[in-house]
Structure 1
């Protein structure tokens, strides 16, 4: 099978999974938190094991403490996935609001340019989105799943387009 065909097939599969994630955003949110918990558990365990090979006492302690924190967070996400969804959604809300605020400040510096309005609108929309999700418990529960679904749709589309590009350039 040609590389271009493989890319197109993976892109279609990713696109389908993105549609499924958007159709079941709450379940996808729980899956994101559970997978994140698993990655944190494994990563934290490896960090603790790696700490044994660190020679400096401060470095060893740092490795063990960060590893223990990762294990705790991973276990917490797996044991309490709904709390994990809320925690990760809150983190995303903070990032959305902070990014929106920074874009508004940056837009103010671009007042005399054509980039002012797009930057200002982008910043205001980010803050409004953060406020909406914060005010709606349902939106908070769906946020991670929607972000995953949109990312998978865009990734799938990108793979399909890249596969078609390769098919055209290969002859």
Structure 2
């Protein structure tokens, strides 16, 4: 099987998963929270173990404390997945504000270049999206349970389309 066919199949699979996720965004949000909790537990465990191998009392203490915090967060996400999902959604909101603000600042430094408007628009859209999330969360906090799943589903769709486009591009290159 050629590479372009593999990418095409992977793209179609990603599209199917994206549609499935968008059909059940709360379930997907909770699944992402559970996986995040597991990853936090694993990384916290490694951090604590690694903390005992670090030189210096301050470094050792800081590393072990960080590991304990990661273990606590992981356990919290797994034992309270709905609250964990709400926390992750608020983290996404914060990341949209920070990322959008950074892109606006970068855009202002790029004035006069061809990259100014795309960077500025991208930053403003992230900030507007964060505002929409904030307003919807203020109206109905349970709405946040959908957010991670919807964003994940949209990403799966974009990923699928991207893989399909790359597959067709490779097919055209192979035929040349």
57-66 or 67-76, which deviates more: 57-66
Gaps of 5+ in 1: none
Partner of 1:38: 38
Structure 2 residue 90 is matched with structure 1 residue 90: yes
How many angstroms apart in 1 are the aligned matches of 2:5 and 2:122?
Answer: 37
CA distance 1:116–1:13, shift in 2 (3 Å): closer
Paired residues of 1:134 and 1:140 also in contact (CA < 8 A): no
Partner of 1:58: 58
Residue 42 of structure 1 deviates from its aligned partner by 0.9
**1:156-167 equivalences in 2 (<5 Å):** 156-167=160-171
Structure 2 residue 52 is matched with structure 1 residue 48: no
How many angstroms apart in 1 are the aligned matches of 2:25 and 2:75?
Answer: 23
Given candidates 142, 148, 167, the residue that maps to 1:144 is 148
- With normalisation by structure 1, the TM-score equals 0.82
How many angstroms apart in 1 are the aligned matches of 2:121 and 2:165?
Answer: 30
Residue 26 of structure 1 deviates from its aligned partner by 1.2
Residue 55 of structure 1 deviates from its aligned partner by 2.9
How many angstroms apart in 1 are the aligned matches of 2:119 and 2:60?
Answer: 45
RMSD (CA atoms): 2.6
How many angstroms apart in 2 are the aligned matches of 1:115 and 1:10?
Answer: 32
- With normalisation by structure 2, the TM-score equals 0.80
Residue 116 of structure 1 deviates from its aligned partner by 6.7
